[in-house]
Structure 1
């Protein structure tokens, strides 16, 4: 049975399934993990199905290229984050390394740690053209490309319980005003309008990501990402912050949302057990709801749609937010021979036909244009097509903020979002606190 990964959003651009024990570091040759005379090296993250797909891609490449192989090492997410910082600082990074794009990649670039791949994509235009154009924004720093988008795409989706909507005689909202109008309708019926795992904080962030985009357009967050002074306190920013607090005050979220953890999938359970009508969440939750929700998904009771428009907003209605793809960068300190091997791997195996088919078989949507032609054999074809159309047709695909921003700013963001949703911080106080992080950076 094809299924999407079943865990919460990971720090990579795709959701990894339940992690296994950290893989032991495989032999990388006497030249160290950065590669060298004995070949290139690559680090990946553990967790199925992603780990198996990545391993198969490297093994297929090595079999086809016995004179220029890649030594593979696998690590759990948190172990990887610690190890990669140490390795990069010591000049011993692997040739190919997972990157989150956005703020973390920008730090690598400005410290000269990763290879500029702009020329590589110019020379391999066919490779670039086969990948979703929207995925390249998070791989681009100061107009140059420093990582290859790959693997799967997971946008944020508005899910709804069809049975509950039929019960109250309502339709899914297409505008923010319609969304707000549904709040008392469901509350009067004893149903929470929205499920939310607010204890996890990053779930709250998804609401702001969409509201900022729908109200201020892509340029609003871009001004924040670029470090524009007082960007967080622009009128469109304050409008978005005000709207989300209006939703909280109106009783839009399930009672006690601040104590519900997304890590345990408790927020998803509220949707498929009929206690909440809607949920804004990542595409990765489809698989876990299918697995744990009885016949909620297979019986056709799960609905999904795009985030509503905000009347008068500057945002493009096709824009989406979430995780545009996975990313791999090339270490700037690797030998020229190792770099050449890495780039050959990118062109031959990383987003090759076998890998594309493997991601589809796992229930995920690869970022390869035309991959939807292979969805027909899947029992999840309708869902996969929805995600594919949403991602491939997006005018912009805003990367999750806690990945897009520099680490210190991302930490402050999550702390302040919690206060914003708990109504212990006003929109202006939130903006002031976040402007301070921009100034500090």
Structure 2
């Protein structure tokens, strides 16, 4: 699934196209010759939090400085991929964990930081910290907030129509004609970006088959996509499309222009399934809508007869820092010291909360309770802490080749150009690739 307060990869990510900035006097990628640690991350989103943290660290530890560079989303992904492969990666490597981290570990691109980050990991919510663990060892630690996918609804509109947010899939489908009859599209969707469509499949498959269904895919089990939960989920998606569940023109709408979110907060649609990363959009871009108390939020509905717990959530548990194995011992030591004592410390946590983001730190209920957004932030925090399963976005959990096939084939299902069985067959063919 991408993030700017508007997309997933551009609101952790906030893609300022072409933007490239350098903090301090950057020495470039980390390597065995350089004793200075380096870090690459994304522009926008959490950039200011990262900058502030690095600046404070550098002032307090002049002998262990970390030089940082910030890149737009696409530029970063291309640059870090080539640098890691060539052994010239920055000391601190920014990622979404998942399949990418597994590959890094397999190829010995990153080092085991289990023993050197115990102070930090002891404060983390275990379900989030687990995403940085491979084969029982910690290779990555979270560096920002928990970003679960939320079913947002226009509270004022629902109250005006005397309706309740859907708690079951049947209730959701019953709402579709009611809003269509009023000339209001039920759901906003940026179909041209593809990854927002994936949120629908991920949640439905979880509700029907439980998290075990997709875990079998991640584990590469033969014919894992043949689990009936996937086909049934795809059938329900096509039912929703045929019932005009999405706004007109969703197929050509992208997240880059925030058109899907704007359709929601301008009252053109009643609901939107999007990440918690869009919350700043409501606060900053739709101040009247926000001030009127129209931002409603709830869990994705349950499915009758399904195995999945309705408290399960999908999204990005956080973004992560890993330490490059190609960096010098001095640079690695500076990086791990920074991770263990500076990342997600009190000031860091306060900064994230002030921006409407919730860090994966245990015991911050009192901090949250003092904030203007306490109801929402407390809900995000509690659902993450209590979730039986917090599943990583599928396109991040899978290897790149499988993730691309997943997005392409799912888009064909939404467009009714591929049958659910055709999707299952096509995706089974990618296993092991």
Q: In which range does the TM-score fall when normalised by the shorter chain?
A: over 0.9
The whole-number CA distance in structure 2 between the counterparts of 1:338 and 1:201 is 39
Tell me, yes or no, if structure 1 residue 352 matches structure 2 residue 350: no
TM-superposed CA distance for 1:194, in Å, is 1.2
Tell me, yes or no, if structure 1 residue 133 matches structure 2 residue 130: no
The whole-number CA distance in structure 1 between the counterparts of 2:275 and 2:306 is 23
Q: Deviations over 1:370-418 (max 9, x none)?
A: 2332234433222211211122222111111111111111111111111
TM-superposed CA distance for 1:324, in Å, is 0.7
The whole-number CA distance in structure 2 between the counterparts of 1:27 and 1:292 is 35
TM-superposed CA distance for 1:139, in Å, is 2.0
TM-superposed CA distance for 1:435, in Å, is 1.0
Partner of 1:241: 234
**Counterpart contact for 1:238–1:428, Cα < 8 Å:** yes
Within 5 Å, give how 1:255-404 maps onto structure 2. 255-404=248-397
**Counterpart contact for 2:4–2:10, Cα < 8 Å:** no
Tell me, yes or no, if structure 1 residue 38 matches structure 2 residue 28: no
TM-superposed CA distance for 1:74, in Å, is 2.4
What is the DSSP-based 3-state SS (H/G/I as helix, E as strand, rest coil) of the residue aligned with 1:170?
A: coil
Partner of 1:226: 219
More displaced stretch, 185-194 vs 319-328: 185-194
Q: Deviations over 1:96-148 (max 9, x none)?
A: 11022111111111111111223435xx1x42231122213432333432111
More displaced stretch, 156-165 vs 182-191: 182-191
TM-superposed CA distance for 1:35, in Å, is 5.7
Match 1:47 to one of 44, 49, 69 = 44
CA-based RMSD of the aligned residues comes to 2.2
Note the residue ranges of structure 1 that are not aligned, 5 or more in a row. none
The whole-number CA distance in structure 2 between the counterparts of 1:62 and 1:247 is 53
Q: 1:250 to 1:101 in 2, by over 3 A?
A: same
TM-superposed CA distance for 1:430, in Å, is 0.5
Q: Deviations over 1:136-175 (max 9, x none)?
A: 3432333432111121111100011122212332111111
Task: State the TM-score, normalizing by the size of structure 1.
Answer: 0.92
Tell me how many residue pairs correspond in the alignment.
431
TM-superposed CA distance for 1:87, in Å, is 2.0
Q: 1:269 to 1:86 in 2, by over 3 A?
A: closer
The whole-number CA distance in structure 2 between the counterparts of 1:20 and 1:367 is 30
Task: State the TM-score, normalizing by the size of structure 2.
Answer: 0.93
The whole-number CA distance in structure 1 between the counterparts of 2:199 and 2:102 is 22
Tell me, yes or no, if structure 1 residue 63 matches structure 2 residue 62: no
Tell me, yes or no, if structure 1 residue 88 matches structure 2 residue 88: no
Note the residue ranges of structure 2 that are not aligned, 5 or more in a row. none
Tell me, yes or no, if structure 1 residue 211 matches structure 2 residue 204: yes
Partner of 1:110: 106
What is the DSSP-based 3-state SS (H/G/I as helix, E as strand, rest coil) of the residue aligned with 2:342?
A: helix
Match 1:100 to one of 96, 99, 120 = 96
TM-superposed CA distance for 1:27, in Å, is 4.6
**Counterpart contact for 1:175–1:309, Cα < 8 Å:** yes
